[in-house]
Amino acid sequence: MFCTKCGLCLPEQANFCTRCGTAVYIPPQPPVCVEAEQSEMATPVENQDQY
C-alpha cells in the first residue's frame, strides 16, 4: 500500500505513514461494483461559432 499523501510505500500493517504521519485508511475489501461518478459536463450547443 502507499501513503495517499506523500506516496511512500508502507507495510500492510501500517496505520500511519512513517514519513508524513498521515493516517492511512485500508478498505476491508476492494470495491466490487463501483458506479462511475458522472460529472455534469453538459455544455450548451446553441452558441456555436459560425464562420
Give contact residues for Zn ion (rule: CB under 5 A): 3, 5-6, 8, 17, 19-20, 22
CB of 24 to Zn ion, least distance (A): 8
CB of 15 to Zn ion, least distance (A): 12
Nearer to Zn ion, 15 or 43 (CB): 15
CB contact set of 44 (below 8 Å; sequence gap of 6+): none
Residue 14, burial from CB neighbour count under 10 angstroms (0-12, 13-18, 19+):
middle
CB of 34 to Zn ion, least distance (A): 25
Q: State the cell numbers at 4.
A: 495517499
